[in-house]
Chains A and B, each alone.
Chain A
């Protein structure tokens, strides 16, 4: 089974600064997708960014970008110009095309300091 590891249970960042959240995964598949989801205290999971494994180019969505290292099975999220509204639990997720299911990490709690 695929596993997703987030080794940073908690992170903090000053407002307007940049922070990087780490994620590694284990798989023998070649066709998959990787995601970052954000879960604020309201608890609704919100899609942040998606990366297709077959694409070499790193995905970017406004202030959010990823560093996808397929050979190293690493998928980190960089948040630039951090805002107070970025404070939340961030989950890294692996989607298996063959298994049609998500595998989530245990999450990283991000605090943004004013």
Chain B
């Protein structure tokens, strides 16, 4: 049973660029959530996707956007990258109506 997978594992970008991160949920899961984890901090909720729509959003600017595909996989897009966007980005999947989330290994983004 495949768990949550994310790609790429590491990424280096420069300020002003755009980045796309990808996530495949655990088999059987239909809901994907994205989190930003800065160094030494706990994860911060970015948004959650269900049925290809953004269901809930945390306190992040519109530069952060996402998408969910019919196969439940998801993308996180960040435009106009800032140095402060450097972080570990975690994807978590769950079954709708069920609170337990399973996390992927994360994508480490470094903005120079």
Chain A positions within 8 Å of B, measured between CB atoms, are 4, 33, 35, 37, 42-47, 50, 91, 93, 95, 97, 99-107
Q: Is B86 interfacial (CB 8 A cutoff)?
A: no
Contact A43 B42 (CB under 8 A): no
Q: Verify A43–B45 contact, CB threshold 8 A.
A: no
Cβ of A104 and Cβ of B43 under 8 Å apart? Answer: yes
Q: Name 15 extra pairs, CB < 8 A, besides A42-B105, A43-B88.
A: A33-B99, A37-B103, A43-B106, A44-B104, A44-B106, A47-B100, A47-B102, A50-B99, A50-B100, A91-B42, A100-B56, A101-B45, A101-B48, A103-B45, A107-B41
Q: What 9 A-B pairs have minimum CB-CB distances, sorted nearest first?
A: A104-B42, A45-B103, A95-B99, A101-B45, A44-B105, A100-B56, A33-B99, A104-B43, A106-B42
Interchain Cβ contacts within 8 Å, total number: 53
Bound CA span A97–B56, Å = 12
Decide yes or no whether B33 CB sits under 8 A from chain A.
yes
B63 at the binding interface (Cβ < 8 Å): no
Interface residues of B, CB < 8 Å — how many? 24
With A47-B100, A50-B100, A95-B99 known as contacts, the answer to whether A102 contacts B43 (CB < 8 A) is yes
Instruction: Tell me if B56 and A102 are in contact (CB < 8 A).
Output: no
Q: Does B101 contact A (CB under 8 A)?
A: yes
B74 to chain A, nearest CB (A): 15
Asked if B58 is at the interface (CB within 8 A of a chain A CB), the reply is: yes
Could you tell me if B55 and A43 are in contact, using CB atoms closer than 8 angstroms?
Answer: no
A93 surroundings in chain B (CB, below 8 A): 42
6 contacts between A and B (CB under 8 A): A43-B105, A99-B56, A101-B45, A101-B58, A102-B35, A106-B40
